[in-house]
Amino acid sequence: DAGITQSPRHKVTETGTPVTLRCHQTENHRYMYWYRQDPGHGLRLIHYSYGVKDTDKGEVSDGYSVSRSKTEDFLLTLESATSSQTSVYFCATWSGGKSTDTQYFGPGTRLTVL
């Protein structure tokens, strides 16, 4: 498995508080992604990065921001958490170099906003 870690793995927070999730990779992959997974929706893209300091919005970006200051780290921030952001968050990386390349996924972060 690719070396992708997410921290924290579990978090409970209160509405209105800021939350930052971290994704760290050791594969030197160019692309990094943040997804959320909710029952009945599969995975939905929040934001992605195509290089250091290069990011773009995904399908469900409202209420989220991201930063990538180093190749290996991709941070997801909820500026003011809401109950609708209770979800499981997955980070992924992709080298994007060859047609046989797959995205690799972290173990997920379960976030509960009370």
Partner 1 sequence: KQEVTQIPAALSVPEGENLVLNCSFTDSAIYNLQWFRQDPGKGLTSLLLIQSSQREQTSGRLNASLDKSSGRSTLYIAASQPGDSATYLCAVYSNYQLIWGAGTKLIIKP
Binding site for partner 1 (CB under 8 A): 31, 33, 35, 40-45, 48, 50, 58, 90, 92, 94, 96, 99-100, 102-103, 105-108
CB of 94 vs partner 1, minimal distance in Å: 8
CB of 72 vs partner 1, minimal distance in Å: 19
Nearest to 14 by CA among 75, 60, 80, 90: 80
Output 31 or 112, the one with its CB closest to partner 1: 31
Using DSSP's 3-state secondary structure scheme, residue 43 falls into: strand
CB of 103 vs partner 1, minimal distance in Å: 6
Given the DSSP bridges, would you call strands 10-13 and 109-113 parallel, antiparallel or unpaired? parallel
Return the bridge partners of 105, or none.
92
